[in-house]
Amino acid sequence: MVTVGCIALTASGNRVLLTEQMPEESVSELEERVGEGFKSVPVRYIEHPVDPGLSFQEFRKLYKAPEPIYSCISCGGDSRVIEKKTKEEFLTDGTIEVREIS
């Protein structure tokens, strides 16, 4: 599925929405257009630097992927990933909607 130009939003009740963000449309404008309590989830990443002078084998042993830190849509507080689910696993607990909104 092509997702270039798309943005994921979330709402209470374990709902996720994937929709297109129009050119020149701000995130707040998109949230207003979508409505229904859906909010974009800001994310930042914590890097885990590794000494650049290491051999490739040592680098592979020590490398950790950047850790995503999400912002809560209700309070703005930090939220770390505590569990990863496949789409199928998520759908047993919540819903994913794909909408074309004009």
Given a contact cutoff of 8 angstroms between Cβ atoms, the answer to whether 19 and 99 are in contact is yes
Helix segments in the chain, DSSP class H: 27-34, 56-62, 87-91
Number of domains in the chain: 1
Question: According to the model, what pLDDT value does residue 4 have?
Answer: 54
Per the structure, the complete domain to which residue 87 belongs is given by: 6-98
Q: Over pLDDT 90: what percentage of the chain? A: 22
Residue 1 in domain: no
Residue 23 has pLDDT above 70, yes or no: yes
Query: What is the 8-class DSSP label of residue 94?
Result: S
Mean pLDDT of 9-15: 84
Question: According to the model, what pLDDT value does residue 99 have?
Answer: 67
